[in-house]
Amino acid sequence: MKQFNVPIIYRSPLISAIKKFRKQQDKMKKDFTPTFLDLGSLHIYLARHFGFCYGVENAIEIAFRTVEKNPGKKIFLLSEMIHNPHVNEDLQEKGIQFLQDTYGRQLIPFETLTADDIVIIPAFGTTLAIEKQLQDIGISVKKYNTTCPFVEKVWNRAEQIAQKGYSIIIHGKPKHEETRATFSHSAAGAPAVVVKDMEEAIALGKYITGEKNADAFEVEFKGRYSEGFNPGKDLQRIGVVNQTTMLASDTQGIADYLKMLMIHHYGLNDSNVGERFADTRDTLCYATNDNQTAVSGMLEETKADIAIVVGGYKSSNTSHLVELCELVLPTFFIESEEKILSPDKILHYNFHTKTELLTTGFLPHKQPVKILITSGASCPDALVENIIRKLAGFYNQDSKVDALATNFNN
């Protein structure tokens, strides 16, 4: 796989050594057991896969290179590069300005841009309407486009099934940049609608069976279906694609449910279900899939006391890692080591309520303390190392952290 020139501040000597060692030992990625770090009275178990993915490293490299090669030019990001506050703050310190916030609200009017300005398209991609707005100004939307290739893969899959006469069901978070972009590209070729979870998929199914009428559809799915969408006609042949960072089991469950619904409603079987339901296969990105599988493997293999998940609070893929951990262990979702205030106190994020909480006594009073750690695909490895070092300091094991990198390199 291509190697990217990512700023050294995001790298970690310890994590790089661990990842290199695991890759050499398991080139086919079949071993999902965690990496055990023995720090005496502190035992840390690192997920087999975590941290920056291909699309994130590609986007970061393009953004920093663009700044370096265009001194004096106005450089804008359409919205947040990725959902990590540290990376976005670094880009802003380099002089890059955001045109929109993560929900698409305008921060800087497009009317103030000129053809001489540079606009970087973030890893999530963007809508066809915004592309046209920029092109009309004279700004290239291709030269500085960092859209993740796995997001583009979803768009291509949607286009393929649209050409065969299927409508597109998108499993995603309706307000997320990637889902908005995927909806735009899908709706350009076929009727499209967004469902955020199984509950909404079941609700959509009632329009397939005729249990609900079209008037109710307009209210229930307001703002999430393409212009002119007719549930009576456009739900007769469907295919499912997804926001690439959703929980794999959720997407599979939605696809399986809608497939079985079509089979029962139209009297089909496995051999002819393709007449009504497109075989889109999984459209999750490899990193999302690997990271989720690694967490599941870690939870099965290790009897730990707590889990710590590191990443930006707006990060969809990170929140799903938290979901998996929460099913088994007390889990703390944090952005950096700064959220660990002391051996007794931690500030962590509840993504269900969108609030930050202060928890006391988060570290159990026992030895050894066993902690599972993973991070999202937009989280720099340096942050993970910083957290390991801070935890190690509470147990006077700082020197062992330095020795670990040497051990994995030898």
Whether the Cβ atoms of residue 171 and residue 284 lie closer than 8 Å to each other: no
Question: Residue 329 has which token pair?
Answer: 């262990």
Alpha-carbon distance of 200 to 194, in angstroms, equals 9
Taking alpha carbons only, the member of 278, 55, 59 closest to residue 168 is 278
Alpha-carbon distance of 61 to 118, in angstroms, equals 16
Give the amino acid at 330: P
Alpha-carbon distance of 55 to 147, in angstroms, equals 7
CA 53-21-43 angle, to 5 degrees, is: 90
Question: Residue 373 has which token pair?
Answer: 């750690």
Query: Positive or negative, the Cα torsion across 262, 263, 266, 271?
Result: positive
Q: Give the active site residue among 178, 323, 335, 385.
A: 178
Helix or strand (DSSP H, E) at 128: helix 128-137
Alpha-carbon distance of 198 to 205, in angstroms, equals 10
Q: Is the link from the previous residue into 368 a cis peptide, with omega within 30 of 0?
A: yes
| 385 given a catalytic annotation | no
Question: Residue 246 has which token pair?
Answer: 């959703």
Whether the Cβ atoms of residue 161 and residue 280 lie closer than 8 Å to each other: yes
Whether the Cβ atoms of residue 193 and residue 221 lie closer than 8 Å to each other: yes
Question: Which residue in this structure is represented by tokens 């249990």?
Answer: 211
Alpha-carbon distance of 283 to 246, in angstroms, equals 10
Point out which residues pair with 168 in neighbouring strands: 192, 239
CA 281-283-286 angle, to 5 degrees, is: 115
Taking alpha carbons only, the member of 121, 118, 143, 6 closest to residue 61 is 6
Query: Positive or negative, the Cα torsion across 81, 177, 243, 384?
Result: positive
Query: Positive or negative, the Cα torsion across 206, 208, 209, 215?
Result: positive
24 to each of 28, 146, 292, how far by Cα in Å?
10, 29, 21
Catalytic residue positions? 178
